[in-house]
Structure 1
Amino acid sequence: MRENPNRTGLLRLKEEINIAERGKEILQDKIESLVVLFFEYVKERGERRKYVEDALMKVFRELVILESLIGTVSVKSDAFSVPEGSLKTGERKVMGIGLPEFLWERSKKGFQILNIPVKFDKTKLRFEEILEAVLKVGGIENSIQVLSKEIKETRKVVNSLENYVLPEFRSEKKWIELRLEELAREDLLRYKMIKRKLEISK
């Protein structure tokens, strides 16, 4: 690009440089915030995965005890029914970015196991809690992917501004300034020549 080598073009170019620099700063701040959020999600994913693993181990131990009380055949024949409920999907906005969420809306019936001791009621409820936790982990996984993509794309824009747009603007600004200085010298030289001619003609 080549702006007209005049003061108006120089002022316009300086304004464009200011806008580009400010935009770069805003995007860099955005990247920093997204990176913080990214690692918060990574940490939460690890914590929730551990919860799911620990909860499954506990539930399976309880099922082993249940089998010893009412027999394997009874447990299998009276196995957990498919949970009644519905999967809800949505998203929440963070810095204008839609992060996915998966929620399990429980039915009033929930899981049902027939002929089990009352003290194992918590076992069937725990399965629903595990399902909800797994869905939460799924939402976090997707959010991590969305954030990772957004960070990469924003960095590309920052790199473009930093390595291409701003250097080109600054080079153009320098060219206009040099050209204006050159024109000013030419004008001064012409003025001196005219002044000298006028003095000679007197």
Structure 2
Amino acid sequence: MIRKSPNRLELMKTREEIDVAKRGKEILQEKTDSLMSLFFSYVKSSSEKRKGMEVRISEAFKTMLFLESLSGNSSVRIGATSVPEGKIRTEERYLMGVGMPKLIWEPSGERFSFFNVPILFDELKSDFEWILGEVLSVGEMESGISILSSEIKKGRRVINSLENFVIPELESSKRWIDFRLEQISREDRLRYKIIKKKLGLF
């Protein structure tokens, strides 16, 4: 317990500190609950995207093998799975005060082209480009999940500190000041009675 000067001003300051700590705990708890909700939303969306991506990849490879068997060469595989040169640009967006990553693919090379081939070849290429976009999207979510998890842990540590240490310490100090002020008041009343008795004022 922090021993503070037992006076009215210190008592008022301690009460204010308790109110601030309790309000801060409530606000932080609300934020942490919201981050938890967002965290589970990201986990669910990431899982769903992964499942959808796995199905699309499986279908795309089946189509690719079929087209390879028709064409009799490997140009289908090279064209469908080739990724144009480029770079991944990272941006940051804020959700509830937490910086979340945004991954953007910026191609700089020429797209592989098929000449004199059925439309199915271009559709296959589009499938693999869609898969690339989903890989980036899942990567965003996985990074977001990691960041949210870290923020939730930080919030819980602060809440735990406020709930189990800071607030009880302040309340203990307040009780001690209340006790000392009451003790001082009793001593003052006793002295006053003694003085009155000595002065014959009873």
2:155 match? 154
- CA distance in 2: counterparts of 1:174 and 1:2, whole angstroms: 11
Report the more deviating stretch, 83-92 or 142-151: 83-92
Spell out the pairing of 1:108-147 with structure 2 (5 A cutoff): 109-114=110-115, 116-147=117-148
Using a 3 Å threshold, how does the CA distance of structure 1 residues 40 and 76 change in structure 2: closer, same or farther?
Answer: closer
Percent of pairs with identical residues: 51
The two structures, once aligned, show a CA RMSD in angstroms of: 2.0
**Structure 2 match to 1:19:** 20
Specify every segment of 5 or more residues in structure 1 that has no aligned partner in the other structure, as ranges: none
**Would you say how many aligned residue pairs link Structure 1 and Structure 2?**
201
- TM-fit CA distance, 1:69: 1.1
Q: Pick closer, same or farther for the CA change 1:186–1:52 going to 2, 3 Å.
A: same
TM-score of the superposition, structure 2-length normalised? 0.92
> Following TM superposition, by how much is the alpha carbon of 1:156 offset from its aligned partner in structure 2, in angstroms?
0.3
Residues 1:77 and 1:154: Cα distance change in structure 2 (over 3 Å): closer
| 2:104 match: secondary structure | strand
CA deviation after TM superposition for structure 1 residue 111, in Å: 3.9
Post-superposition offset of 1:73: 4.0
In 2, the alpha carbon distance for the partners of 1:15 and 1:77 equals: 69
The runs of 5 or more residues in structure 2 that have no matched partner are none
TM-score norm. by structure 1 comes to: 0.92
Deviation at residue 185 of structure 1 after TM alignment: 0.2
Aligned in 2, Cα 1:61/1:32: closer, same or farther, shift over 3 Å?
A: same
User: Match of 1:91?
Assistant: 92
How big is each residue's C-alpha offset from its partner over 1:144-166, in whole Å with a ceiling of 9 and x where there is no partner?
Answer: 00000100011000000111111
3-state SS in 2 of match to 1:86 = strand
Determine the C-alpha separation between the residues in 2 that align with 1:92 and 1:115: 44
Distance 1:6 1:77, change over 3 A: closer
Per-residue CA deviations over 1:152-198 (Å, capped at 9, x if unaligned) read 01100000011111111011100000000000000000111111112
Taking structure 1 as reference, are residues 78 and 176 closer, same or farther at Cα in structure 2, changes over 3 Å only?
A: closer
